[in-house]
């Protein structure tokens, strides 16, 4: 299906370390987005990468996309306590009628 | 702040009550969305409106009734809900769902609903 699945489901790392989350999907996509959600709040858009792009950067965030493996990764460098949140990938299908579909998310906890 | 507000932030209602959730966006967008987020489940798209016209209804039970009076306001009317409807209800907006249906969405903080 178009729906992305994040891996791992939960991740705990020490503050200052890098955090890597992965997203896999099964059908071809037009683009892939990453969102962050703090506990009980709305989602915040982080970055969008299109199917013809391989890598994008935004501040401490680095996103890669490998369409041959149907996977994407989100790397957060030099993690901070404020990075504690759930992270979701959202895939956009190839057809114009396709809506973006969210995965179940990775819960990231940054330890002090 | 993302420019999308939702009220109320928390709501407790009985199964026989009627209540409404409100969403307002200040971004000049043409498309608005309702999502349901339950524990350990992916975000579920409920309704999509583009220029006040409903373009998507993902087989949502009739006890949920959306209303979009203009491109800045979106309501979700609730009646005779079930306990399993307890969830976080998120509103989102985007520039134009018809022109670019997969573009970035901007979310409100959500309404935490508990049905007793």
The pair of structure tokens assigned to A95 is 């057809």
What confidence score (pLDDT) does residue A38 get? 93
Is residue B1 very low, low, confident or very high in pLDDT (cuts 50, 70, 90)? low
- Mean of all residue pLDDT scores within chain B: 90
- Mean pLDDT to the nearest integer, B1-12: 92
Looking at CA atoms only, how far is residue B49 from chain A in angstroms? Answer: 12
Q: Which residues of B touch A40 (CB under 8 A)?
A: 88, 110, 112
Asked if A30 reaches chain B (Cβ–Cβ under 8 Å), the answer is yes
What whole-number distance in Å separates Cα of residue B3 and Cα of residue A112? 32
The residue in chain A having the minimum alpha-carbon distance to the alpha carbon of residue B58 is: A99
**Cβ contact (<8 Å) for A40 and B112?**
yes
Please check the confidence at residue B99 and state whether its pLDDT lies above 70: no
Looking at CA atoms only, how far is residue B72 from chain A in angstroms? Answer: 18
Asked if A24 reaches chain B (Cβ–Cβ under 8 Å), the answer is no
Q: Which residue has the higher pLDDT, A104 or B103?
A: A104
Using CA of residue A73, residue A77, residue A81, residue A83, what is the dihedral sign?
Answer: negative
Please check the confidence at residue A15 and state whether its pLDDT lies above 90: yes
Is residue B35 very low, low, confident or very high in pLDDT (cuts 50, 70, 90)? very high
Residues of B (53-72) whose Cβ lies below 8 Å from A: 56
Please check the confidence at residue B10 and state whether its pLDDT lies above 60: yes
What confidence score (pLDDT) does residue B100 get? 56
What whole-number distance in Å separates Cα of residue A19 and Cα of residue A28? 26
Please tell me the least confidently modeled range out of A4-8, A25-29, B6-10, B76-80: A4-8
Phi and psi at B84, nearest 5°, equal: -70, -5
Looking at CA atoms only, how far is residue A24 from chain B in angstroms? Answer: 14
Asked if A50 reaches chain B (Cβ–Cβ under 8 Å), the answer is no
Asked if A3 reaches chain B (Cβ–Cβ under 8 Å), the answer is yes
Residue among A104, A106, A100 at smallest CA distance from A49: A100
Cis status, amide bond into A32, omega within 30 of 0: no
Asked if B10 reaches chain A (Cβ–Cβ under 8 Å), the answer is no
**Cβ contact (<8 Å) for B106 and A45?**
yes
C-alpha dist (Å) from residue A33 to A50, A77, B56: 9, 18, 21
């Amino acid at each position: 299906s178009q729906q992305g699945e994040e891996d791992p489901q939960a991740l705990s790392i020490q503050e200052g370390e890098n955090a890597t989350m992965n997203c896999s999907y099964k059908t071809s996509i037009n683009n892939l987005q990453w969102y962050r959600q703090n506990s009980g709040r709305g989602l915040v858009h982080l970055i969008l990468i299109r199917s013809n792009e391989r890598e994008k950067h935004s501040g401490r965030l680095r996103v890669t996309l490998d369409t041959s493996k149907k996977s994407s990764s989100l790397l957060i460098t030099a993690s901070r306590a404020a990075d504690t949140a759930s992270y979701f990938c959202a895939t956009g299908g190839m057809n114009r009628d396709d809506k973006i579909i969210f995965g179940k998310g990775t819960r990231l906890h940054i330890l002090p | 702040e993302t420019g999308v507000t939702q009220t109320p932030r928390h709501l407790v209602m009985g199964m026989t009550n009627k209540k409404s959730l409100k969403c307002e966006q200040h971004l000049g967008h043409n498309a608005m969305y309702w999502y349901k987020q339950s524990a350990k489940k992916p975000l579920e798209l409920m309704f999509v409106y583009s220029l006040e016209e409903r373009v998507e209804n993902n087989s949502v039970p009739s006890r949920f009734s959306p209303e979009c009076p203009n491109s800045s306001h979106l309501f979700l009317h609730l009646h005779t809900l079930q306990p399993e409807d307890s969830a976080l209800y998120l509103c989102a907006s985007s520039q134009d769902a018809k022109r670019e249906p997969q573009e970035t969405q901007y979310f409100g903080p959500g309404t935490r609903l508990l049905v007793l």
